[in-house]
Amino acid sequence: MLIPGILISIVTFPGVIVHELAHQLFCRLYKIPVFKVVYFQAENTARYVLHEAPESKWQSIMIGIGPFFVNTILGALIALPSSLSVMEFHHSAGPLDILLIYLGVSIAMHAFPSTGDAQSIWQAVEEEGTPLWIRIIGFPIVGLIYLGALGSFIWLDALYGVGVVIGFPKLLISLMA
Amino acid sequence: MESLPEPLLPEEPASPACRNCGQAHAQLMGRNQLCPECYQGFVKYPIPMWIKAFGGGLLLVLIFSLSSLSDNFTTGIHFKRGEMAKRKKNYLTAENEFANVVKREPSYTEAKLQLLMAAYNNHDFPTVAATYSKLVNEQITDEDLLSEVSSTLSSAASYYPSDSLAAYLEKHGNDISSIPETGLRDYLSHHSNEPYAMFALASRLFDEKKLTSADSMLNEMLLADSLQYNALCLKAPLKREMGQMDSSYYYSDKLLSINHEDTYALATKSRSLLKAKRDKEALEAALQSTRLNPKDGYAQASLALVYHFLHEEAKRDAIIKQIEADTSGASYLSYVKDVIEGKESFRN
């Protein structure tokens, strides 16, 4: 079923905002100047963080994939108690559980970097003088991002969001048990 | 995210000046040639108030969410530990873990089903019955789990009297020990495959030291069901009494292969090892058994026996005191006392 991207963005706006904020926070972490940020707009799906290209290629990669970590971890943590209660112990979901799971899924499903992020990483990695090990890491990441973008046509991003919310508690418990 | 490989701001003036504020500066920074003040300003590009409010809201939700996590998380860990113990056939641990989960989450159906199965594997039938009663009328959607439980419950039936035996028992005041041996044999001649009655008769024969007959009866039971717990349990001491020590170890080990934490199997093995004068191994098995279940009367009695033959009287007497404190251990204690007093010959 094809649902316009703009509608998905509106419904899952917390994830969209967290995604852009993650780029910005990674820029701040690496002390990279930021010139403009568009966190969210209801009119179209364009949102971005306009920043200076870092000297360090590694920082370029990390700024590009930062949302993957931030959105995944934040989404998983927010939904964790309700996910355990509802999915594992089969309690009936209260309004708070629904809110937490909604937030968790919508944040985690926007963890995938966009094709715009991939392009920035590509530009940084293909520049002359980029160390080989950065290229070895960078190019597959770009490939994976494009694969993820293709996968979003079959709801891969949404599946990822749901997977994080359901799978993270199981993983955490397995590690702690 | 979009990065700017080329400078964003207007063309550079002739003298080196910041491309944002236009002020000349000796030390311009970054690809965009910004003075340190402008550079720092862009590094700390302001986050709008509404985003801060949104982030604050998320943070509050996160704190609230994590504050309510502890209980659910602990329950989840106990459940997982129970599952892991079950996979390793450590059913005593599994039962304790699932019991903990059910205590915390009484409406957690899967945990109750797992508790029932773990309790069955520990032959803790009071817990099986109590858990079963809590499950009546509950809907079970997990087909695999349902079939596992159904199979457990049908196996459990062999440890209870059948309807016909129950009717027969009623005539004897519901006390199978009051039925004479001939009565049991007569009943079995009409109901040859009744495990409960067969075991009752085998136990009677064992108590009366009719070891060969008891052995034959147990063989019949094991022919019908090679995992019949009661039969395996009685085989180990029976073989010990018959002096067939390897066979006794075999049945103890068989029980331990079904449940790695079978305290009875460990305790009875310790007695066989003790009888064979393998005292060190006997002590190890007895200690392992009491460690698993410190309140198990048979395990405690076995350890007391080991200490007796190791001439560690103080430790032996301390354990005897512990058994005396619990009335359920009386029958085990009387045997130990008989051995100590020389009324019963345990080993030469």
Tell me which residue has tokens 């079923």: A1
B159 pLDDT above the threshold of 90: no
- Give the one of B32, B44, B69 whose C-beta lies nearest to A52's C-beta: B32
Share of chain A above pLDDT 90, in %: 62
- pLDDT tens digits, one per residue of B53-103: 998 998 898 888 778 777 888 888 999 999 999 999 999 999 999 999 999
Report whether B123 contacts B95 (CB < 8 A).
no
At a CB cut-off of 8 Å and minimum separation 6, what does B212 contact?
A: B242
Contacting residues of B for A114, CB less than 8 Å apart? 1
CATH says B172-260 is which class?
mainly alpha
Contacting residues of A for B54, CB less than 8 Å apart? 14, 17
Contacting residues of B for A48, CB less than 8 Å apart? 1-2
Contacting residues of B for A80, CB less than 8 Å apart? 65-66, 69, 73
Q: How confident is the model at residue A47 (pLDDT cuts 50, 70, 90)?
A: confident
Q: How confident is the model at residue B329 (pLDDT cuts 50, 70, 90)?
A: confident
Which fold does the domain B75-155 belong to in CATH? 1.25.40
Write phi, then psi, for B73 (nearest 5 degrees). Answer: -65, -45
> What is the pLDDT at residue A3?
64
Q: Do A176 and B77 touch (CB under 8 A)?
A: yes
Tokens of A120: 């920035």
Return d(Cα B272, Cα B286) in angstroms, integer. 11
Length in residues, chain B: 348
Q: How confident is the model at residue B13 (pLDDT cuts 50, 70, 90)?
A: low
- pLDDT tens digits, one per residue of A132-170: 999 999 999 999 999 988 888 889 999 999 999 999 988
> A51 at the B interface (CB within 8 A)?
yes
Compute the mean pLDDT over every residue in chain B, rounded to the nearest whole number: 90
Average pLDDT on B35-54 reads 93
> What is the pLDDT at residue A160?
95
What proportions of chain A, in percent to the nearest 5, are helix, strand and coil?
70, 5, 25
Q: Give the range with max mean pLDDT: A68-72, A96-100, A154-158, B320-324.
A: A68-72
> What is the pLDDT at residue B72?
81
- pLDDT tens digits, one per residue of A7-34: 888 999 999 999 999 999 999 999 999 9
What amino acid occupies position B84? Answer: M
Tell me which residue has tokens 């190890």: B284
Strand duo A48-52 + B2-4: pairing: parallel
- pLDDT tens digits, one per residue of B204-216: 999 999 999 999 9
At a CB cut-off of 8 Å and minimum separation 6, what does B277 contact?
A: B347
Instruction: Mutation target for B interface from A73, A82, A84, A128: give the one with most B CBs within 10 A.
Output: A84
Nearest chain B residue to A74 by CA distance is B62
Return d(Cα B225, Cα B158) in angstroms, integer. 10
Tell me which residue has tokens 């990483």: A121
Choose among B76, B284, B44: nearest CA to A169. Answer: B76
> What is the pLDDT at residue B8?
58
- Give the one of B65, B68, B84 whose C-beta lies nearest to A177's C-beta: B84
- pLDDT tens digits, one per residue of B172-200: 888 888 888 898 999 999 988 889 999 99
Report whether B143 contacts B128 (CB < 8 A).
no
> What is the pLDDT at residue B10?
57
Share of chain B above pLDDT 90, in %: 62
A94 pLDDT above the threshold of 90: no
B6 pLDDT above the threshold of 60: no
- Interface A-B, measured as beta-carbon pairs within 8 A, has a size of 137
Return d(Cα B252, Cα A115) in angstroms, integer. 64
B156 pLDDT above the threshold of 60: yes
Average pLDDT on B26-51 reads 91
B290 pLDDT above the threshold of 80: yes
Q: Which residues 122-141 of A have a C-beta within 8 angstroms of B?
A: 123-124, 127
Nearest chain B residue to A48 by CA distance is B1
Tell me which residue has tokens 């035996």: B165
Q: How confident is the model at residue B140 (pLDDT cuts 50, 70, 90)?
A: confident
Average pLDDT on B304-332 reads 91
> What is the pLDDT at residue B309?
95
- Give the one of B48, B72, B109 whose C-beta lies nearest to A85's C-beta: B72
Instruction: Mutation target for B interface from A51, A62, A71, A99: give the one with most B CBs within 10 A.
Output: A51
Contacting residues of A for B3, CB less than 8 Å apart? 50-54, 60, 63, 120, 123-124
Q: Which residues pair with A48 in a beta bridge?
A: A38
Average pLDDT on A70-98 reads 87
> What is the pLDDT at residue B65?
76
Return d(Cα B296, Cα B332) in angstroms, integer. 10
A38 pLDDT above the threshold of 80: yes
Helix (H) or strand (E) holding A49: strand A48-52
> A19 at the B interface (CB within 8 A)?
no
Choose among A152, A98, A96, A106: nearest CA to A11. Answer: A106
Report whether B33 contacts B8 (CB < 8 A).
no
Contacting residues of A for B105, CB less than 8 Å apart? 89
Compute the mean pLDDT over every residue in chain A, rounded to the nearest whole number: 90
Q: Do B30 and A21 touch (CB under 8 A)?
A: no
Q: Do B77 and A34 touch (CB under 8 A)?
A: no
Any idea which of A117-131, B56-70, B241-255, B287-301 has the lowest mean pLDDT?
B56-70
Contacting residues of A for B45, CB less than 8 Å apart? 24, 27-28, 33-35, 37
Q: Which residues 139-168 of A have a C-beta within 8 angstroms of B?
A: none
**Residue with the larger pLDDT of the pair B4 and B229:** B229
> What is the pLDDT at residue B1?
59
For residue B92, the distance in angstroms to the closest alpha carbon of chain A comes to 17
Distance between start and end Cα atoms, chain B: 86
With 0-12 CB in 10 A as exposed, 13-18 as middle and 19+ as buried, what is B329? buried
CA distances B339 to A112, B301, B305, B308, B336, Å, are 74, 11, 8, 9, 5
- Give the one of B42, B62, B107 whose C-beta lies nearest to A35's C-beta: B42
Share of chain A above pLDDT 70, in %: 98
CA distances B122 to B146, B256, B284, Å, are 19, 11, 21
Nearest chain A residue to B81 by CA distance is A177
Nearest chain B residue to A50 by CA distance is B2
For residue B286, the distance in angstroms to the closest alpha carbon of chain A comes to 28
Q: Do B69 and A80 touch (CB under 8 A)?
A: yes
Quick one: how far is CA A95 from the chain centroid? 25
B251 pLDDT above the threshold of 90: yes
> What is the pLDDT at residue A93?
83
B11 pLDDT above the threshold of 70: no
> What is the pLDDT at residue B338?
93
> What is the pLDDT at residue B256?
97
> A46 at the B interface (CB within 8 A)?
no
Return d(Cα A99, Cα A165) in angstroms, integer. 13
> What is the pLDDT at residue B14?
57
Distance between start and end Cα atoms, chain A: 40
Work out the angle at residue B214's Cα, subtended by the Cα atoms of residues B210 and B215, and round it to the nearest 5 degrees: 120
Q: Do B54 and A17 touch (CB under 8 A)?
A: yes
Average pLDDT on B230-253 reads 96
B337 pLDDT above the threshold of 70: yes
> What is the pLDDT at residue B12?
53
Helix residue spans in B137-244 (DSSP H): 143-156, 163-170, 181-190, 195-207, 211-224, 229-241
CA distances A60 to A66, A130, B45, Å, are 10, 12, 18
Return d(Cα A177, Cα B287) in angstroms, integer. 26
Q: Which residues pair with B2 in a beta bridge?
A: A50
